[in-house]
Chains A and B, each alone.
Chain A
Amino acid sequence: MNPKRKQRLMVVLFLLAGAGATVALTLLALNENLNLFYPPDQIVSGEAPTQTRIRAGGMVMAGSVARQANGLDVSFVLTDYEGSDFEVRYSGILPDLFREGQGILVQGQLGSDGVFKADEVLAKHDENYMPPELADMHRPAAPGGDAE
């Protein structure tokens, strides 16, 4: 490669490295803020702010889903299966994928009593797609398909 091209190649590499470093440092500085939601341990430990609109996420704890008589008010517990969990109260229609053991995102306010009042519930799923028959074989003890 002739010296002129070598020099231009260095310029391109520097450009890329410089921009890369800038972006990397920015992302590093913003790191926590780039998370979409607070996991259960941060909610329990008090790292998550109260009385302001935030998102929290976790798995719906088995047997924790309780519906009020009016059919719309529902409460459930979100857990990380590692000892941290918190209660969520919500009034409204739950997404199709809402069920026990499912990853769930809630948006709303964390009260000072540690109860999360949600105004929006989103369902998270993973990349382990499976045909229904196979899923039945894998988890024979899985709770019924519905949220109830």
Chain B
Amino acid sequence: MTLKELWHRLGSPRWFYRISGPLAWVLGILALVLLVSGSVWGLAFAPPDYQQGNSFRIIYIHVPTAIVAQSAYMLMGVAGAILLVWRMKMADMVLAATVPFGMTMTALALFTGAVWGKPTWGAWWVWDARTTSMLVLLFLYFGLYALRQAIPRQETAGRACAVLAVVGVINIPIIKYSVDWWLTLHQGATFRLTEAPAMPPEMWIPLAVNVLGLYCFFGANLVGRLRAEIVRREARTAWVRALAAGELQTAREVSEDEVLRMGPGPGAGR
């Protein structure tokens, strides 16, 4: 499959729905394995920090959620640009399906940051450049969520969200470099692309495992929400009705859960 073909196929909700069933499960299982092992490793086996002691272990939640919260926003920015330029309806679905996950990840990063800040800094919250720009990210997510609810016409809502998503991308480099550009209470970046982490491997490997695991979870969650979004928006198309009809037939022998796992079902064709 050439890149151009893939591009066209990605634009097809039906094609995506057909291939994505197993994808969600593979990513989900991977996420479970990685997150459980990374967290157990970080909680019980990684050494404590020489200054912070065991409160340092919050890093294994805090850093992955903060990284994924920003990556999710970047993905929405790209989806927004694709929607505005190519008018690809899948891009709008990706945008819509990412918002709730990114929002909860940002909130979790802020919450674990506060809980980590109390024993180490001595304060739950400080208005420095890093924490404030992260709070702005949360409000951007709120804005994207509210905007879609506020505009009844789907196409208009999609474009408005796309514009907000694209413009909001500017906040991402600000979050990233806030600790370098200004004097902050927040420490510098844990992982940098150009340098090895300052911590020894027994501290950063479990962190890397959790980052990877959370990306997998993001992937699985996005695919799951995207499948729901596809069925919802394509509800009047023949293929979704065939899919549902196939399920109606199957429902007598198999439970609903299992049908969902099976993907398109016999009636979906192709």
Q: What is the interface of chain A, defined by CB distance below 8 A to chain B?
A: 5, 8-9, 11-12, 15-16, 19-20, 23, 27, 31, 34-37, 39, 57, 95-97, 102, 105, 120-136
Contacts and interface: CB of A to CB of B under 8 A. Distances in A.
A124 B187 contact: yes
Interface of B: 47-52, 56, 59, 81, 84-86, 119-123, 126-129, 163, 166-167, 169-170, 174, 181-185, 187-190, 198-200, 202-203
B183 A37 contact: yes
A135 B123 CA distance: 25
A29 to B, nearest CB: 14
B137 to A, nearest CB: 14
Contact of B122 (A9, A11, A34, A122): A122
Most chain B CB inside 10 Å of its own CB: which residue of A16, A105, A129, A130: A129
Interface of chain B, main secondary structure: loop
A34 B169 CA distance: 20
B167 A15 contact: yes
Contact of A97 (B51, B128, B166, B202): B51
A131 B167 contact: no
A36 B127 contact: yes
Nearest to A135: B50
B129 A34 contact: yes
A86 to B, nearest CB: 16
A131 B50 contact: yes
Interface of chain A, main secondary structure: mixed
Given A35-B182, A123-B120, A133-B47, 8 more contacts: A15-B166, A20-B170, A27-B174, A34-B129, A95-B121, A124-B121, A131-B50, A136-B50
Contacts of A35: 129, 182-183
B85 A8 contact: yes
Contacts of B56: 129
A129 to B, nearest CB: 4
B85 A9 contact: yes
Given A16-B169, A97-B51, A130-B49, A34 B182 contact: yes
A127 B182 contact: no
22 contacts: A8-B85, A12-B166, A36-B129, A37-B185, A95-B122, A96-B52, A97-B120, A105-B121, A121-B122, A123-B122, A124-B121, A124-B185, A125-B51, A127-B190, A127-B198, A127-B199, A128-B198, A131-B50, A131-B200, A131-B203, A134-B200, A135-B51
B198 A19 contact: no
B214 to A, nearest CB: 19
A16 B59 CA distance: 33
B35 to A, nearest CB: 21
Contact of A8 (B84, B122, B182, B185): B84
Nearest to B59: A129
Nearest to A9: B85
A134 B129 contact: no
Contacts of A122: 121-123, 126, 185
A127 B188 contact: yes
A66 B181 CA distance: 34
A121 B126 CA distance: 12
Most chain A CB inside 10 Å of its own CB: which residue of B119, B167, B198, B202: B167
Most chain A CB inside 10 Å of its own CB: which residue of B81, B181, B183, B190: B183
B48 A105 contact: no
A8 B49 CA distance: 51
Contacts of A130: 49-50, 199-200, 203
A36 B184 contact: yes
A36 B121 contact: no
A134 B50 contact: yes
Contacts of B85: 5, 8-9, 12
Contact of B128 (A23, A36, A102, A125): A36
A128 B52 CA distance: 11
A57 B167 CA distance: 34
